[in-house]
Structure 1
Amino acid sequence: MKRKALGAVIAQAAQAGIGLLLQILVARLLGIEEYGRFAILYGVVIVATAVVTGLIGDSLVVLDRSKRTIRAGLEAMLLMTSVLLAIGSFLIAWLTGFSDAWESTLFALALAAFAVEEIVRRLLIAHMSFVRTAITDVAGFLVALAIILTVHVTGTLSLAAFLGGIAAGQVVATFIGWVLVPRADRHLVGLRGADIAAVWRYGMWRGLQQVLRPSLFTVLRLLVLAGAGLTAVGLLEAARTYTSPLILVIGGLSSFLFVRFADQHKAGKSGSVREADRVVVFLLAGTVVMSAIAVVLIPWVSPLLFDVEVDPLAVIAWLAYGMSVAIVTPYGALGAVAGRQIAVFLIRLSDTLLAIIAVIVMIALGAEPSTLPFALAVASMLGGLGLRWLVVAGGQSERPAR
């Protein structure tokens, strides 16, 4: 199990590292203001991917996808969701004037490609094939990087070129990942008789929950944009990106725990609150060590990555938020696979709304953008305590999701 947990961290590290490198490339090649614009668009992509991850990705882990009707339901849901999200993102970006028609089209294509590739990743993760998952992500990134650098050499690099390169890379990653999926799970079925209702009943709440965190980040960016401008968004996002290695470790273990707890329930066993407690203690200890290292390295590493020195206060604030995520993650996974996904969502929704209200109040009081992640951290920690109470109160009476 330790080897699989390490593999989960490696897979998450590959995905998060790729996101980090893409953002560094934008900041270095296009400037901090364009980076702020990219952060908003990329944030929308992450939100859409989170919807697909919860709605379809978590459903294929928990539900019995060996049944033809369930598998057809998963396929139909992926098709509908990716198309609707792509069309909606295009219209919003174009009609609001945030992007022109060409850039909006590439943005929509990148979003759809991310959605489909994420489900292929989740199939690999469901088999705990974490190394294959990392190979898939790296292959897609290399294709995107080749396209971006080729355009850069011609002197015509733009944000649209970045989006086009990312879309192409995700398409390649999808095909490679599909080939790496175990043969027994690498097949499609016709959509006739698709049990979309079963996928919707479970996945709706997981999709809503998965979208909360990236949506919170997007709202934060928009609030900072309105109050302080694109440069402030870019600087705050640079500080968040600088601390992303911490979140990637937590995210990797989250994927592992979700699959592990789901397998336990399928076997008729109940996830252990004590096991979740041990994971939280481990994550918090690791967070403290990684945070200390991150703060010490700010003067040397951040100028190298972003061509500017990030605000140490913003870094500390984001690290505090990372500690709160360590508290939330294990209990949320344990509650979700036990059929309590609605209660888990309501708790996470409550702490997200609390965070947004706190940020609005802080901005109204004249707080610096660098201090805003502290509000997110406090609200998230309260949510983590609520989730632990939920799984303790459920005890052994928790029932598997149908």
Structure 2
Amino acid sequence: MGFLTTGLSRVRRLATSAGGSVASQAVTALGSLALQLVAVRFIGPVALGAFALLSAILVSATTVYTSWVGDSLNVLDRFDPAIRGALVASALFFAVTGSIVGVVLAVVLRLTSPVGVGLFAVLIVLWLAQETFRRVLHARLEFGALLANDLVYAITTLVTLGGVWLLTNEFGLEDILLAMCVGCVAALLRTLRRLPPQEYALVRPRRAGMRELSSFAAWRSAQSSLRPLALLATRVAIDTLASRTVLAVVEAARLLMTPALTLISGAGGYLLPTFVRQRNAGLPLRPRNALVGSLVLVGASMACGVAAIATVGFVGPLITGGAFTVDALTVGGWAVYAVSFSATLPLASMATAYKLSRLVFLVRGAETVIGLAAVLTLLILRPDMAKFAPYCIGLGGVISGILLWWRLRNTRDSASSGHIDSKKGSHAI
């Protein structure tokens, strides 16, 4: 009886933690969806295309930053003075560099006005600061607090946008960027009040711990940035070789797969710190656990894809307001992409937790190169077939998942101690 009670208690804790992570991603996704609906309804499909590109730049900057700084907060000892000093130095570097790159891309691609460009630079800095402490909440497995953070951001952003509408009776892309900045500040202040002081205590930036930090984070950052950079490159290619209106059509189709993409991202936010806890507890590498997660996510993605395709005739006009048509073929492409994402994420999270980031980078890098080559070939030869771009970037995900599983099994079988020695770092493969 006691065994049964203990088992049920563990299941409830697992469901609560995973549910909190997925709920957090759901709030973020719904907030982003609301902003994109505002863009397409009030400022048109061209503005939706511009907002999609700005969002892709922001996501790319955030992913590079999070995989270097945020994941290191999870995997390494964030209270070690040398590591902490290296993390502070890295955070400052990425915030400055991210803003500069974001401004350059916004200007070159002519995405918004000069005021909008300035707001976008501020948004990148605020977003990265907020993301830092979101990752601290991840490391502490405080998914309830993480959900509260994201709720504060979403509500504050939408309320600010509503206030702009009441004052001016109109929207612009700059208003959306301003509202997002206000939302970031509110969420950041809320999270800082929630965390104990030692979690946000600053130290002098230093290089002493940079070698240990980079031995993990360099490969992790490289492999984590592949997916968002591939999406950014795909969007820029569609915008350049087809048109911004076509990009809006492709992006609107992606919105119908929001439930699946939200579930996958939420699962990733839960799995990495969970696998890290298992590693720190001395538990052996068990690829079967990650494989089960992949199969569950693949099944959920396929179900969401079928539902999205079946309801596109009804939901599509609600998203676009009749400004343009969303077709089932394009939605199917994003369903393929979601299945590809699902196949690799749990296995990649386990490999990362056991400091095998180089392995993930090599597998995912090959997948990304093939996908982008297919996208560029398609758009150069037949720009009118841009709706097939999501199929191209979804190529190879299932194969990547199989390769990761096979390599993790070999790593486990070859480890004489029965588990990965965490001190060997990313070169343990």
| TM-score, length of structure 1 as denominator length | 0.95
Q: 2:73 aligns with which of 56, 60, 64?
A: 60
Is the counterpart of residue 347 in structure 1 residue 368 in structure 2? no
Task: Write out aligned runs for 1:1-400 (5 A).
Answer: 1-94=14-107, 97-153=110-166, 154-182=168-196, 185-191=199-205, 195-308=209-322, 309-366=325-382, 368-396=385-413, 397=415, 398-400=420-422
Counterpart residue identity of residue 245, structure 2: T
Give the match's secondary structure for 2:395.
helix
Larger displacement relative to structure 2 (45-54 or 26-35)? 26-35
Letter in 2 for 1:12: Q
User: How many angstroms does 1:95 deviate by?
Assistant: 5.2
CA drift of 1:199 comes to 2.1
Asked if the contact 1:352–1:380 (Cα under 8 Å) also holds between the matched residues in 2, the reply is no
Q: 1:303 to 1:96 in 2, by over 3 A?
A: closer
With 139-148 and 358-367 compared, the bigger mean Cα shift is at: 358-367
Kindly indicate whether the alpha-carbon contact (under 8 Å) linking 1:8 and 1:256 is maintained by their aligned counterparts in 2: yes
CA displacement, residues 201-246 of structure 1 (integer Å, 9 cap, x when unaligned) = 2112212222111111111111111222111000101111221210
Residues 49 and 248, structure 2, Cα contact 8 Å, conserved in 1: yes
CA 97–287 in structure 1, closer or farther in 2 if over 3 Å, else same: closer
Once residues 92 and 233 of structure 1 are traced to their aligned partners in structure 2, the CA distance between those partners, rounded to angstroms, is 17
The answer on whether the counterparts of 1:311 and 1:370 sit within 8 Å (CA) in structure 2 is: no
Percent sequence identity is 26
How many angstroms apart in 2 are the aligned matches of 1:233 and 1:161?
22
Shift of 1:294: 1.7
Instruction: Note the C-alpha offset of 1:192.
Output: 5.3
CA distance in 2: counterparts of 1:276 and 1:196, whole angstroms: 30
Question: d(CA) in 2 for partners of 1:289 and 1:97?
Answer: 38
CA contact (8 A) 2:275 2:353 kept: yes
Give CA-to-partner distance per residue, 1:61-93, whole Å, 9 cap, x none: 000112122122212211121112112222332
Q: Structure 1 counterpart of 2:340, which letter? A: S
Shift of 1:279: 1.1
User: 2: distance between equivalents of 1:95 and 1:225?
Assistant: 13
Separation in 2 of the partners of 1:218 and 1:288? Answer: 24
Deviation at 1:338, TM superposition (A): 1.6
SS in 2 for 1:368: helix
Contact 2:309-2:328 at 8 Å conserved across structures: yes
Q: Is the 8 A contact 1:38 1:159 kept in 2?
A: yes
> Is the contact between residue 339 and residue 399 of structure 1 (CA under 8 Å) also seen in structure 2?
no
CA distance in 2, matches of 1:117, 1:393: 38
Amino acid at match of 1:190: R
Query: Which 10-residue stretch deviates more, 132-141 or 361-370?
Result: 361-370
Give the conservation status (yes or no) of the 8 Å contact 2:23–2:266: yes
Provide Cα deviations, 1:243-267, integer angstroms capped at 9, x if missing partner.
1210110111111111111111112
> What does residue 8 of structure 2 align with?
none
In the alignment, is the contact (CA less than 8 A) between 1:83 and 1:112 conserved in 2? yes
Q: Contact 1:121–1:133 at 8 Å: present in 2 too?
A: yes
- Structure 2 distance, partners of 1:10, 1:182, is 24
Distance 2:85 2:65 in 1: 16
Question: Relative to structure 1, is the Cα distance of residues 32 and 193 closer, same or farther in structure 2, using a 3 angstrom cutoff?
Answer: closer
Distance 1:92 1:321 in 2: 25
Q: How many residues align?
A: 402
The 8 Å contact of residues 332 and 344 in structure 1, kept in 2 or not, is answered as: yes
User: What's 2:4 paired with?
Assistant: none
The Cα offsets for residues 356-380 of structure 1, whole Å up to 9 and x where unpaired, read as 0011222244262222211222232
Amino acid across the alignment from 2:329 = L
- Structure 1 residue 185, shift from structure 2 partner: 2.8
Note the C-alpha offset of 1:122: 0.5
Query: What RMSD in Å do the two structures reach over aligned CA positions?
Result: 1.8
Counterparts of 1:10 and 1:181 in 2: how far apart (Å)? 20
> Distance in 2 between the 1:91 and 1:228 partners?
22
The residue identity in structure 2 corresponding to 1:40 is L
| Secondary structure of 2:77's aligned partner | coil
Equivalents in 1 of 2:336, 2:320: separation in Å? 22
Q: CA deviation at 1:197?
A: 2.9
Q: What code does the residue aligned with 1:352 have?
A: T
Cα separation, 2, equivalents of 1:48 and 1:392: 33
1:132 deviates by 1.1
Change over 3 Å in CA distance of 1:363–1:95 after alignment to 2: closer
